[in-house]
Amino acid sequence: MRVILRRQNILIAKQNRSTRVFSRPLYFFVLVVVCLSSISCTFQQKKRIFRRDELLMDTVVSIQIVCRDPGKAKHLLDKSFVLARKLADQMNSHNSNSEISQVNMKAFSEPVVISKDLERVIKKSLAISRISHGAFDITVAPLLRLWPIYKANKFTIPDRKKLDEAIGLVGWQNIELDALNHTIHFKRKGMAIDLGGIAKGYIVDRIVDYLKRNGIKGALVNAGGDIYALGRAVGGELWRVGIQHPRQHHKLIAILEVENKAVVTSGDYERFLIKDGVRYTHIVDPRTGFTVRKTASVTLVGDDTAFIDGLATAIMVVGATEGYKILGGVHDVDGLFVTEKKEGKLDFRWTPHFITYVSWASFLTKNNKPELKRPHSSIH
Ligand code: ADP
Ligand code: MG
């Protein structure tokens, strides 16, 4: 029965998300990850879980907090969404008035003073670029413009010359951050930044910080598949996070149980366009200029949502084998990499510690099950 309830939750999430984006010719599907715990908690102790969902950044942002006082919960939810909206506005490069758009317009001519938040998120982005050898690069904006996957009728594969010109403008090393004066400067004319690969994770972290500072011990914050699970759910239970099957949208491939962890999934099945049988996604490989084809989805578990948001995007670019190596050099981040081999046939790889978060997974057999925290049956 509880499983059925959870499945209904998935459908609700799909309806919410699609309300805004279905006018576009692109298929937007269900949220990558669906949070499962809250439904059962709500049923058991209605008073202590408070939840609100809003459409933001083309996705559903959902905040659940464990709290005794409805007045306090309402206030914190109000303030959390004010914060989320403010940050989303600052980092939206599609709005010409946003802070990041101002940077894109002016930072070649002169150093531009930026807010603390922008400075932090750009600094973190540069660190991820270094770790991923440039697979994650926020200066991919000129390349992204060449792939209008959101406009199916206008979509054509860009010619090589245009791609090469745009690649010439990409390069995280050409961003100069001045930590003393809090400025940013672009070394190359025509450069531009897109924060789509990290902004959501950063916003999740900022909301969690805000809730913690206000005495909240348990919360689940989800921005379209970028999740932070703070403390525990009602009744001291771990938070349960379902990972969606990248090809069968009503199915899950795993359920994780976590506390004080970020769980981020990046995939090729939410924002994409299929033309002549080829799937074009919203993530581009800064080296080839093409949209990525290697990986169906990447789920990372770590401590810092923004960091693993960017890292998951990077691994979408480099694929499972390289991704595995990258995680080898990073402290305390574990991952599950899903690759489509033949039409619909998936291949799963994971780092050894990832399994400790899994309470159920479709891809585990008797041979690799013993490390599981709980037997499969406990989730039904
Ligand atoms: P989602 O936003 O669906 O959760 P991601 O976190 O993987 O997915 O971010 C994808 C977004 O990142 C794209 O929409 C684009 O704005 C940006 N992006 C695309 N390719 C790159 C890249 N190679 N490096 C950094 N950002 C990228
Ligand atoms: Mg990302």
99 CB within 6 A, ligand 1: no
Please identify, by atom number, the ligand 1 atom nearest to the C-alpha of residue 309.
6
Q: Which atom of ligand 1 is nearest to the CA of 310?
A: 6
Residue 192 Cα to ligand 1 middle (Å): 14
- Please work out whether the CB of residue 359 comes within 6 Å of at least one atom of ligand 1: no
Does ligand 1 come within 6 angstroms of the Cβ of 286?
yes
Q: Is the domain of 76 the same as that of 221?
A: yes
Let me know if residue 378 belongs to a domain. Answer: no
Number of structural domains found in the chain: 2
- Classified as helix, coil or strand, 77 is helix
Do 182 and 244 lie in one domain? The reply is no
313 domain residue, yes or no: yes
In a shared domain, residues 265 and 292 = yes
Residue 43 domain-assigned?
Answer: yes
CATH number assigned to the domain comprising residue 106 = 1.10.3980.10
pTM for the model: 0.86
Q: Is the CB of 197 under 6 A from ligand 1?
A: yes
Q: Which of 280, 264, 283 is nearest to 272 (CA)?
A: 280
Structural domain that includes position 313 = 3-89+198-361
Instruction: Tell whether 348 and 211 lie within a shared domain.
Output: yes
pLDDT, averaged per 10 consecutive residues of the chain (380 residues), comes to 31 30 35 45 61 95 96 97 98 96 98 98 98 98 86 79 95 98 98 98 98 97 97 94 92 97 90 74 92 90 98 96 96 95 86 95 74 39
Q: Which of 135, 160, 186 is the last residue of a domain?
A: 186
Residues 178 and 225 in one domain: no
User: 233 and 85, same structural domain?
Assistant: yes
In the reported structure, the alpha carbon of residue 144 is separated from the centroid of ligand 2 by a whole-number distance in angstroms of: 15
Q: How many CA atoms lie within 13 A of 112 on its CB side?
A: 19
Q: Do 164 and 229 fall into the same domain? A: no
Asked if the structure places residue 145 within a domain, the reply is yes
Neighbouring C-alpha atoms within 13 Å toward the C-beta of 355: 17
How many CB atoms neighbour CB 118 within 10 A?
24
Mutation probe of ligand 1 site: the residue of 283, 300, 311, 338 with most atoms within 8 A of C-beta:
283
Q: Do residues 287 and 336 both lie within one domain?
A: yes
Partners of residue 175 on adjacent β-strands? 186
Question: How far is ligand 2, taken at its centre, from the CA of residue 300, in Å?
Answer: 10
Q: Which ligand is nearest to the CA of 136?
A: 1
Cβ neighbours, 10 Å, residue 141: 22
User: What pLDDT does 327 receive?
Assistant: 97
Q: How far is the centre of ligand 2, averaged over its atoms, from the C-alpha of 59 (Å)?
A: 13
172 and 50 belong to one structural domain: no
Domain with residue 246: its CATH number is: 3.10.520.10
Q: Are residues 350 and 220 in the same domain?
A: yes
Phi-psi region of 235 (alpha: psi -120 to 50; beta: other; left: phi over 0): left
Ligand 1 centroid–CA 238 distance in Å is 29
Neighbours of ion ligand 2 (CB under 5 A): 197, 266, 309, 313
If you take atom 20 of ligand 1, which residue's CA is the nearest one? 283
Domain-located, residue 239 = yes
Q: Which atom of ligand 1 is nearest to the CA of 316?
A: 7
